[in-house]
Chains A and B, each alone.
Chain A
Amino acid sequence: QKEVEQDPGPLSVPEGAIVSLNCTYSNSAFQYFMWYRQYSRKGPELLMYTYSSGNKEDGRFTAQVDKSSKYISLFIRDSQPSDSATYLCAITNTGNQFYFGTGTSLTVIP
């Protein structure tokens, strides 16, 4: 079983829509949950970082962790064409080894 599962999409939404991206993970010991954004031909950049359960909000982005169901989500409000990218979830326990999802490709149509 993979450590992290992520629906690869692709996901296509109109500008202004709310986007929901999700991952599930298998090991309840994981404590740190990240979302990365990767534009085409570029390295990933950290978008959101949460520890344990709960929500974290940063502008139009909200990261949510539900440890009871081992489910993590990233919500994007008022999506913009510039949000078009691949979004990868990642988990770690120690901060030294990261497990990545396969990434979800998002296209926001103007």
Chain B
Amino acid sequence: GAVVSQHPSWVICKSGTSVKIECRSLDFQATTMFWYRQFPKQSLMLMATSNEGSKATYEQGVEKDKFLINHASLTLSTLTVTSAHPEDSSFYICSAQGNEQFFGPGTRLTVL
């Protein structure tokens, strides 16, 4: 089946730094990718929809200047958490729309 990869799988950073997370569809082209955030014992929360070649669409309550999304190609979308703070610590999951929606393995972000 189709594979979506994320890099890094786990990142620890200091408060105030920026972190970039990559999401790649490895064997199919995805015009649409999604970014989710999952806090412990909670469900996936859609943060934004990323469309190749255009601006991302953010969900209500998600700061677009803090969570920068770039979908530069049909196989790559990036999420940059700018000036990260401890409350941004979470599990970030991307998914790519192919014949069905394929999820990446997730990136665990810990902000100290």
Contact = CB atoms under 8 A, between A and B. Distances in A.
A42 B10 CA distance: 11
Contacts of B100: 46, 49
B15 interface: no
B43 A45 contact: no
Given A96-B49, A98-B46, A100-B44, A43 B32 contact: no
B75 to A, nearest CB: 17
Interface residues of B, number: 20
Query: Which label, helix, strand, loop or mixed, suits the secondary structure of the B interface?
Result: strand
Interface string B7-49: 0000000000000000000000000101000000111101001
A88 B6 CA distance: 21
Contacts of A95: 97, 101
Contacts of A97: 46, 49
Interface residues of A, number: 19
Contacts of B105: 42-43
A106 to B, nearest CB: 14
Interface in B60-106: 91, 93, 97, 100-106
A52 to B, nearest CB: 17
Contacts of A8: 41
Contacts of B102: 46
Contacts of B93: 43-44
A44 B103 contact: yes
28 contacts: A6-B43, A41-B106, A41-B108, A42-B105, A42-B106, A43-B6, A43-B93, A43-B105, A45-B103, A46-B100, A46-B102, A49-B100, A88-B43, A88-B44, A95-B97, A95-B101, A96-B49, A96-B97, A97-B46, A97-B49, A98-B34, A98-B101, A100-B43, A100-B44, A102-B42, A102-B43, A103-B42, A103-B43
